[in-house]
A and B are shown apart, each in its own frame.
Chain A
Amino acid sequence: MSRKPDTQDGVVQRREFIKASAMAAAAAIAGGTSFALPILADEPATGVDWQKAPCRFCGTGCHVQVGVQQGKVVAIAGDRNADVNKGLLCVKGYHVGAALYGKDRLTKPLLRDGDGYREISWPEAIRIIADRIQAAPERFAFYGSGQWTIPEGYAAQKLMKGGLSNNHIDPNARLCMASAVTGFLATYGVDEPAGCYDDLDACDVLIMWGNNPAEMHPVLFSRVIDRRSRGEKVTLIDIGTRRTRTTEACQHYLEMKGHGDLAIANGIAHLLIKNGTYDQKFVESFCSFKAPDDTNPNLHGKVISFAEYKSLLEPYTPEYVEQLSGVSASQIRMLADLFGNRKLRITSLWCMGMNQHTRGTAINTLVHGIHLLSGHFGTPGNAPTSLTGQPSACGTVREVGTLSHALPGGLVVTDAEHRTKTEEIWQVPPGRINSVPGHHTVKMWESFCTPTSEGGDIGTIWVQVTNPGQTLPNLNKLFNPKGDSKAGLEDKLLIVSDVYPTATTRLADLILPSAMWVEKNGMVGNSERRTQQWFKMVNPPGDARDDCWQTIAVAHELLTRGVEGMKDRNGQFLFEVKDAAGNVVPIWEWEHYYDTNVDEHLFEEYRKFTRFKHKDLAPYGEYVKARGLRWPVVERNGEWKETHFRFSEGSDPYVAAGKEIQFYHSSTHDDRAQIWFHPWIAPAEVPDAEFPLMLCTGRVLEHWHSGSMTRRIPELSRAMPRAYAELHPDDASSYGLKNGDRIRMESRRGSLEIPVWIDGRGKPPKGTVFVPFFDETLLINDLTLDAVDPFSKQPDYKKAAVRISKVHA
C-alpha cells in the first residue's frame, strides 16, 4: 500500500486513508485473502439512536425525533411524519433536549432542616407523605398540572378520588384553560374543540382573539403564514391589546381595551342579525339560544327565544361597541361582513387572552356563538378553536379530569350516576367517591396560606410538575403571605416534586427529584384532541424518579399501613398490576417499576372511561405506531380511525347519517348547540387616579411558562435573559424613562423593580404595560389580580391596575 494520500483535502483524506488501510489489513487477515475492499465505519453518526416523542413544551403537540447517544440526548429534529408540525419545530423545540441537562437538576429527596435542607432516602420521603395523609386525609390536597402525563394524572386522580375520597385535586390548567372548558360545555354540552389544525390549512380568514401564536404557538402560526409563500391568500386578523410579532403578519390589527372582546363579539352578532347575513338554516336546524340566569348562575343559564336574543343584542351597535372596546365601528363592520360571507372559511384561534379573563366563560361562548350564528362551523376551515398552553392540558386535565369537580371521561363528582360508573370501573366500594367538589386552585392555595385556626382547611399540598410559586396570581396572598417565613403556618407542609429548584421549591418542606420527558414513558394530549405516546429513552439523573411512581409508592405505603381506601372492593391494591403469568408486579418498588409498562396498564384502564362522552381512545399499541391520533378513535374494519372534525357527518362516526351536523351531547338533549348572549362587563380592576396603568402579563417565544426548563438552556436564556416591562414611548417619555431604566411597578397587591424595554418585542398602547412572567427573579405575579371567572374559577392575569415610578440608581 504505497499510494500516497490524495493531497486534495489533506489531512482528512490521510486520516481516512490510514483507517481504510487498517481496516483493509484487518479484513485481509480475517478473510485470508490478500486484498479486500475496505468498508469504512460511519465515523461520526454511529450510535445515534433516533426515536419519536412529542415535544415537552407547549400544547401544540409537535413531534420531535430525539437523537440519543451513549445514554444521553444529543440532538433533536422535527419529525417529518408528524401531522402537526410536518418536520418543523420552534426554537424551544429544537433545544428541548438540553432541558434535561441543567447542572442544578434535583437528584435527591430533600427535607427542610432549619434554614436549609438535608438529603433523605426515598423510603423516608414516602413515609413522610404517608404520615401526613394518614394523619388528616381530608386536609391533604394534590396540585397537579397540564404537564402531568395521562397516566400520571390518572394515578393521582385515582389515589385522591378513588382511594382517599378526597376531591382536593386541581391542576395549574385551572389558571390556563378552565374558561375554555366551560365555554365548550355551555355551548356544546361536552368539552374540547370540534375542529383541528387542518382548519389552519383551509381557512380563508384567521381571527386571533387576544392571541400571539407567532411566539406562543409558532409552528401553527407558520403553518398558516407559510401558505402565503405558496401563493395562497389568507386574511389574518389580530384582535389584541398590544402589537406583537403576530400583528406584523396580519392584514388587520384591531387594538382593543381589556374586555373589549365581549363587546366586539356582541357587535358582530348584532350586525349579522341586523343585516340578515346570519345563517338562518344552520341556526334553525342546529342551535338554540341562551342567556345567563342571574338568579341561578350556572352553565345552563336560561333558554331564550331568537327574538329575545335579538333584543338583548340591540344595544351593541358598531358605535356603542367602538365606545366599549376601542375598536373602530368600521372594523366591527368589517368583521361582521366577513362572518356574513358564507363563501369564506373562517377559523378563530384563542388562548390566554380569552381564558384569563374574569368573563372567560362568557367570551368563550360568545365566540362559539358567532361561528354558529353565521354557520362558520363544521366544515374544513370553519372552526372556533381554543389552543392550550401545556402539552397535556387536554389529554390529562380535561380528559382524565384532574379537576376538583371532575372524574375521568368528562364525568363529574356531583352526578350520582357518574360516581357509580366510575366506582364500577375502579372496582371500589359504592359510595367511595365524595360527591362534594374539592377546592379549585385559587381556593386551595388560599386555604393553604390561611392559618388552621382561621379556617385554612388545607394542611398539606403535594405539587407535581408545576411551579405555583411563580404562576399563581397575587403571590403575596396565595403563595407566600409571610414572605420567606412560615409564621402562623408552621403546621402546614408543602411537598414539591420537580426537576429543578424553582420559585415553588423555595418554600417547600419536602422536595422530591422527578424524572422528566424522555427519562420516562409518557402519553399526552394536545389542543386538537390528539393523544400522543413516547417511550423512556435515557435514565433520569441520580435518584430522580417518575412522578407516577411517587404517587403509587405513597399509595402502597398507605396500603401497608392498613388504609382501607387503598384497596378496591375485591381487596386488591388500587394500582395492582399483574404480569402475563398472573403474578403481581411490585411496581411500588422503583427497581421493579419498569419491569412492566405501567403507562400501558393505567391507560388501558382509563380508556374505558373515554366511551361515555364519545371521546374514544384506541388501545395503547396504536399510539406507539402513530404520531398521535385525534379522538374519537373508533375501530372500523379492523382499523383504528381518528376523527378530524367532530359533530360533522362524514368525519365524526357518532353523527347519524343524514344529520349533517349533530351536537350529540347537547345540554338540551335535542342535538342543538347553544348560542349565548352575555353582556359586556368591565374588567375586575380598571386603572384609576392612584393606579393609572393597565398591566398585562404573558409569555415570550424563547421561554416556556415559568422558564424553569427553558431558562437553563443556554441558547434560549441568552436570547431572552430576563423579564422586562414594555411601555408605550409616550408613557415612557412622560415618566422620563429611556430603554434600560429601572422602574418600580406597584399594584394594590405587590411591587417589583424591573427594567423597561421600549419598542421591544411588543408595543403596548398608551396607558398599558406588559411584563412577561417567565423570570423567577422578577415575579410579576406579585402584582396580578386573583379575581376569578364565576363559572370556571380561572383568574385574570391580563388586567391589573398598576403605577410606575423611575428608580434612580
Chain B
Amino acid sequence: MSRRRKPSRTLLIAFIVVSVAVVGFFTGLQGPMKITASDSASSRSSLPGMQSRPTEEGVVRAAHYSEMAATSRTDMQQSHLTSLKSTVEPLAEFKITFEDKLMALEQRGRNRAFNGAPPTVPHSIDQQTDAACVACHQTGAVASTIRIPRMSHQFLTNCTQCHVESHSRHLPSELFRENSFAGLPAPTSGPRAFPGAPPQIPHTTWMRTDCMSCHGYEGRQGIRTTHPWRNNCQQCHTPAAAMEQTLMSAEPTFLPGPQIRK
C-alpha cells in the first residue's frame, strides 16, 4: 500500500522543531530551584509532597528569559534531557510498602478526575501547539529534580485534546463552583487466585498499552513493578474481561453436561 509510507517530511520537521523546543524548555530547569515569593505556593521544599500544592509537586518549570543569564553553564548542562542523571536504577530490585503504594495512588489521583481519566498537566503548556509535549513524554525520564512519565498510549497527535493544564497559568482564578463528583478510585491491588499468584490487572486499560508508563521506572515508586526485567506484562497479568470493551466481556458458555439419571 502506498499509504503505508514512512513518516512524512512534516514529521521530521516537527521533530527538529520539537528538539529546539526541548532545549529551550530545559534551559530553564534550574529556575524553580530558586524559589521566588510568587512561587512559594508551589514550594518544592515541602516534598515529598503530600502537603505541597498537588499538581506542582515533582515538576520543574522553565526559567524566565530574564533569569537565564544567571543560570550557570553547569546548571544548563544538568538540565539537558540527555545529561539528566536518573535517581532510579531501572532494573534494581526494591521493596514497596503499602504506605508507598497509597502515597503513590494518592499523588496520582491529584490530577485525575477518576481512575482512568486522562491526567491533567501539572506544568505550563504551550497554548498553541503540542510539539513540545512529545519531546519529553515520548521517552519519559527520571532524575533527582523531575519525573517525566512517558506516554502510556500509542502516539496521538493532538495532546491537548485530552490533557489540559491542572491549573491555568495564564488566567488564575479564585472561585470555582463546587462539584461532588466522586470519581472511581484507584484500586490498591488486583485479585489473586491464591497467595503468590500473579494479580489480575485491577483497572481498565483502555487507550493504554504501555504498562511501564506507570509501573516502570518513570512511574511513582509505590506502584512500580518489583520485577522490571520482565517485559511481557500481560503474559502473567491478565486484564479483567469485564473492564474490556471487547467481545471477551461476555460470560463464557458451555455445552450442556452429561444428563445423569437417578
Contact = CB atoms under 8 A, between A and B. Distances in A.
Interface of A: 3, 5-17, 20, 37-45, 48, 50, 65, 67, 69, 72-81, 87-91, 94-95, 97-98, 100-104, 214, 218-219, 221-222, 225-226, 228-233, 243-245, 248-249, 251, 701-702, 711-722, 724, 739, 755, 757, 760-763
B123 interface: no
Given A44-B185, A90-B162, A760 B127 contact: yes
Contacts of A702: 164
Contacts of A713: 113, 179, 181
Contacts of A15: 98, 189
B46 interface: no
Interface string B1-44: 00111111011000000000000000000000000000000000
Contacts of B207: 77-78, 87-88
Contact of A721 (B117, B130, B173, B203): B173
A65 B245 contact: yes
A70 to B, nearest CB: 10
Nearest to A7: B95
Contacts of A12: 96, 98, 101, 188-189
Contact of A245 (B10, B115, B118, B128): B128
Given A44-B187, A45-B202, A228-B8, A101 B95 contact: no
Interface in B146-166: 155-158, 160-166
10 contacts: A12-B101, A38-B194, A39-B193, A44-B187, A45-B187, A45-B203, A101-B181, A104-B178, A245-B129, A715-B117
A126 B227 CA distance: 65
Contacts of B156: 88, 222, 226, 229
A40 B194 CA distance: 8
A323 B191 CA distance: 70
A722 B190 CA distance: 41
A14 B188 CA distance: 13
Contacts of A67: 114, 116, 184
Given A16-B189, A42-B200, A102 B178 contact: yes
Contacts of B206: 77-78, 80, 87
Given A88-B156, A102-B180, A218-B161, 5 more contacts: A76-B114, A103-B177, A218-B158, A232-B5, A245-B128
Contacts of B168: 718-721
A755 B10 CA distance: 36
A16 B164 contact: no
Interface in B119-159: 120, 127-130, 155-158
A251 B10 CA distance: 9
Contacts, number: 255
Nearest to B119: A715
Given A721-B168, A722-B173, A94 B7 contact: no
A95 B225 CA distance: 29
A231 B191 contact: no
Contact of B243 (A45, A104, A218): A45
Contacts of B176: 714, 717-718, 721
For chain B, the bracket of interface size reads 35 or more
A233 to B, nearest CB: 6
Contacts of B129: 245, 248
Contacts of A760: 127, 170
Contact of B5 (A10, A231, A722): A231
Contacts of A98: 113, 179, 181, 183
Given A11-B99, A43-B187, A715-B164, A721 B172 contact: yes
B203 A44 contact: yes
A228 B10 contact: yes
Which of A15, A79, A90, A716 gathers most chain B CB within 10 Å?
A90
A39 B226 CA distance: 24
Given A74-B183, A94-B117, A222 B161 contact: yes
Contacts of A78: 206-207
A503 to B, nearest CB: 14
Contacts of A38: 194
Nearest to A11: B98
A48 B242 CA distance: 9
Contact of A72 (B113, B120, B182, B203): B182
Contacts of A75: 114-117, 183-184, 204
B246 interface: yes
B100 to A, nearest CB: 8
A28 to B, nearest CB: 14
B66 interface: no
B240 interface: yes
B192 A16 contact: yes
A603 B245 CA distance: 28
A714 B173 CA distance: 12
A229 B7 contact: yes
Given A40-B192, A229-B155, A104 B177 contact: yes
Contact of B95 (A8, A65, A214, A762): A8
A439 B31 CA distance: 61
Nearest to A103: B178
Given A101-B180, A228-B157, A16 B195 contact: yes
B97 interface: yes
B167 interface: yes
A222 B158 contact: yes
Contact of B180 (A43, A103, A214): A103
A15 B11 CA distance: 49
A91 B97 contact: no
Contact of A103 (B6, B179, B183): B179
B161 A719 contact: no
Nearest to A48: B184
Contacts of A717: 176-177
Given A9-B226, A701-B160, A714-B176, A94 B113 contact: yes
Which of B118, B172, B178, B181 gathers most chain A CB within 10 Å?
B181
Contacts of A102: 177-180
B171 interface: yes
A711 B177 contact: yes
B97 A712 contact: no
Given A720-B171, A755-B171, A761-B128, A42 B240 contact: yes
Nearest to A716: B164
B252 interface: no
A4 B240 CA distance: 28
A255 to B, nearest CB: 15
A43 B173 CA distance: 39
B170 A739 contact: yes
A77 B115 CA distance: 10
Contacts of B191: 40-43
Interface in B77-132: 95-99, 101, 113-118, 120, 127-130
Nearest to B158: A222
A757 B128 CA distance: 13
A221 B22 CA distance: 25
